Structure 1
Amino acid sequence: MKRIVNSALKITGLLTVILGVLGVLTFSYFFFVGIYLIGIGLLLYLFDYLTLKFIRNRRAYSATQTILTIAYLGLAFVTYMNWQEHNYIVFQKNFKGQAGIIFGIEGYPELPKTKYWKKTIKLPNDGILITSTKVEDIPSTIRFAFTDNSEVDYLNIDWDPNFEMDCIVNDSKIKSWLFYVKGEESTTVKEVMTSMCNEISSNTKKSVYKSEYSPIVADNKGKYLWLQSKGLNSLPDGLGSLSIYKAILTGNGFNEIPEQIFEIGTLEDLIMAVNPISEFPCNLTRLKRLKSISFAETRIKEISCDLSQLDSLVHFDIARNELTTFPDQLKTIPNLTWLSLNNNQFTDFSFIDKRLNKLEMLYLYTNKVNRISSETKYLGNLKELLIFDNEIDSIPENISDLKNLEKLEIWDNPIKYISPRIAELTQLKTMRIDDDYLTQADKENLKRWLPNCSISYQTRSEKLDILER
């Protein structure tokens, strides 16, 4: 044992190895740090061996041991402190809501210098600090404080270190750190970033960042705006200069259609799904070329405006809104052919009347529909009916009303009876259905009734067993 710790380098080496072993035993991030420390500890033993082998003078040997040990401890201290380098974000007393640091804007002050491995950044009263410093030039670790030195509850502070905003009409990008101190709703930093994009467009401000990938992309139909899940609640000005046919704004924080969208005269498709929109936009008629709109998974429950002027609109999506009552004003859309109502709470077809007789596609899956009621008489032009994942136990005689039906998805329903009149669906090309309660004779009849239809069966109970495992 004495030979293991009979010099300063051996003692520090042993302590380093012990720390490394403890790190390895955590089986976490520190596992790799532990491997690194074990290697350094063994290297210290090698240095000890080399000093003993090549330095014969006792005094020189002791001096060398002392110098190397002090150097190692100093290097370890500096390395540890560099690892602990952080930004000290100081909020004003009692601050609540959104705060942030906007980086890389030319002409603004740089952030304070780092002192003793700590960069103290005091946020102003409004919580918004704009700087010319680039985000890459500061530590990525943060700690929080308030100006009155009150206790900080880290569970009440959210930090988004990667919020970026493309200015869309130019190639600039704005980067920021967003902080949210719980207690008050606010989007002020994002709004300032939007205004800054407008100033960049007017050449009064400049960002050091450029968009790596343009939000304007193209497919075989043309150019479109892709801003899915960007955390946005406002858009910069100037979108009227874009010649795009579609705007995808899914998964943001818009509580209404941004005014800038109405500037796009070429817009045909608008996807506003998964946004906290609660009031239906009656000014939708301003989009003269609009063919398709999606308000899926929003908060819209009713529509109180006349939509009869939307004569170019053919596709309407209001899925995943927990609807129990069909918005009657949708029936005033004169040329509606595609309607998506999936993932709502409808129980039958009673919302359908002759005003929906132009429908060609009806998506009604994942509801609580328990029967195919007689309103099918208004769906003579229907080509696709997706009604899977409901509670339907029979395909009744009135299925024959759907004379132009080409695709029927009715699986995930406990179908026990199929009317022979399904044979009148001579245009039916594909059908998918569960066979839990169907006999072999039922299947043979179905094939005989629909000789030109590709029928796919699935066993519902087997699928449920798989899901439960």
Structure 2
Amino acid sequence: MGWLTCCQCKSKEEKVTELDFSRCGISDIPDEVYANSPTLEVLHLEGNKLKDLSPQLFQCIDLRYLNVSDNEIRAIPPLVSKLINLQVLIFSKNVLEGVHPGLEKLSKLTVLDLSMNDLGKVPDAIMSLIHLQQLCLNDTGIDFVPANIGRLSNLRVLELRDNNLCELPKSIRRLTNLQRLDVSDNNLSNLTEVCESHGNLTELWINGNNITELSVSITHLKKLNDFDASYNNLDSIPKEIGHWTKITNLILSFNNLSFLPKAVGNLRNLQVLKLESNCLEELPSTICKLVNLEELNLQNNCLLKLSSGIGHLRKLATLILSDNKLQQLPPGKIQCIFISKL
């Protein structure tokens, strides 16, 4: 039949705990699922043509992992409350019009992904899932985050990308365990709550918003590895950025930056620095202290000259300088330089 049973049984008596029917073109759940309902723990049904979930599926009460992403399912039915052992539920890329309150009964749920469904609002049931560690609501048409999101204090990952958010509730400060926060492609104008209270963040994505400044409270984000603030309206970066000593990827492209603070030289672990399409006329001399820098993109700025030390950054493999006003290149050897339209 072309379907794969992932358990790879060693004998006919061995219990089937995992089944994979992903991308098989099926429109109904296979009988094998029901036949193994007493022992089934992991079920992949993503990438098919399912329009609904039959009541029999919810007899698999030992299910820990259920992935039904990329189907045509319109609703999470009330019977979902029977899957009391479920830890991971992936329902992204369907045509959900709502989520039944029975979802709140899944007290062991740690991962929930409802991305790419036209929900319009954050389902109330989610706020009862206090053991959630990862919540993904990307591209769901939501325009606000409930004030009681602070109840989800175990969250490590929160993804709210590509929505209509204009602000984040103050209660988001209570999510002190967050390690990854993605609020890119919204309508946010500031992130004060985030910067003041999320010292455990290692990844912060705020690109594609209307942010005009970064609070000096960014000093608290000392564990950041990745930060993307491209496609905003930033005209300056506070000197407190110098506290981000662990950061490896810093993206500030497509803003209105006319200068960088000298403190950028403190980012000794930085490997990628993207500054294209700003208004930079010069760079601070301290940029030559970025000894681990491998890629520097300065395309489409107003640079007249570069510090001579840039050419001596030993790990710098890519330097993009096109669309500037440079009269000469810095001395030194760089493996790959893009300099068209100087």
How far did 1:373 drift? 2.8
User: For structure 1, which runs of at least 5 residues remain unmatched after alignment?
Assistant: 1-161, 172-197, 202-215, 217-221, 464-469
Mapped partners of 2:123, 2:89: distance in 1: 20
Q: 1:167 to 1:375 in 2, by over 3 A?
A: closer
Partner letter of residue 185 of structure 2?
A: T
AA in 2 matched with 1:442: L
| Structure number with higher helix proportion | 1
State which of 215, 225, 230 in structure 1 corresponds to 2:49.
Answer: 230
1:306 and 1:261 map into 2 onto residues whose CA distance is 12
Contact 1:235 1:260 in 2 (8 A): no
> Are the counterparts in 2 of residues 323 and 344 from structure 1 also a CA contact under 8 Å?
yes
Q: Is the 8 A contact 2:64 2:85 kept in 1?
A: yes
Match of 2:93 in 1: 274
Query: Counterparts of 1:382 and 1:283 in 2: how far apart (Å)?
Result: 32
- Return the offset for 1:383: 2.0
Partners of 1:280 and 1:447 in 2: how far apart? 46
Residue 410 in 1 paired to residue 229 in 2? Answer: yes
Q: What CA distance in whole angstroms lies between the structure 2 residues aligned with 1:248 and 1:460?
A: 40
Find the partner of 1:385 among 204, 207, 216: 204
Would the aligned equivalents of 1:168 and 1:236 in 2 still touch at CA under 8 Å? no
Per-residue deviation, 1:278: 3.5
1:27-426 equivalences under 5 Å are: 164-170=26-32, 223-235=42-54, 237-238=56-57, 240-241=59-60, 245-259=64-78, 261-302=80-121, 305=124, 309-426=128-245
* Alignment coverage as a number of residue pairs: 254
Matched residue SS, 1:237: helix
What is the RMSD of the two structures over their aligned residues, measured on CA atoms?
A: 3.4
Q: Equivalent residue for 2:286? A: none
Q: Secondary structure at the match of 2:268?
A: coil
**Superposition deviation, residue 435 in structure 1:** 6.2
Q: Spell out the pairing of 1:437-452 with structure 2 (5 A cutoff).
A: 437-439=256-258, 442=260, 445=262, 447-452=264-269
What amino acid is the match of 1:377? E
Gaps of 5+ in 2: 1-23, 279-298, 301-342
For residues 358-391 of structure 1, what are the alpha-carbon distances to aligned partners after superposition, in whole Å with 9 as ceiling and x for unaligned?
Answer: 3221110011223333552122222211111222
Letter in 1 for 2:212: D
Structure (1 or 2) with the larger CA radius of gyration: 1
Contact 1:412 1:460 in 2 (8 A): no
Please give the alpha-carbon distance, in whole angstroms, between the structure 2 residues aligned to 1:332 and 1:374: 16
Amino acid at match of 2:133: V
Q: Which structure has the highest strand share of the two?
A: 1
Give the TM-score, by structure 2 length: 0.62
TM-score by length of 1: 0.47
% identical equivalent positions: 18
Task: Report the secondary structure of 1:335's partner residue.
Answer: coil
SS in structure 2 at match of 1:399: helix
Kept in 2: contact 1:374–1:398 (CA 8 A): no
C-alpha distance in structure 2 between counterparts of 1:406 and 1:399, whole Å = 13
In the TM superposition, residue 306 of structure 1 has moved relative to its aligned partner by: 6.4
CA 1:259–1:225: 2 relative to 1, 3 Å: farther
- Runs in 1 of length 4+ with deviation above 6 angstroms? none
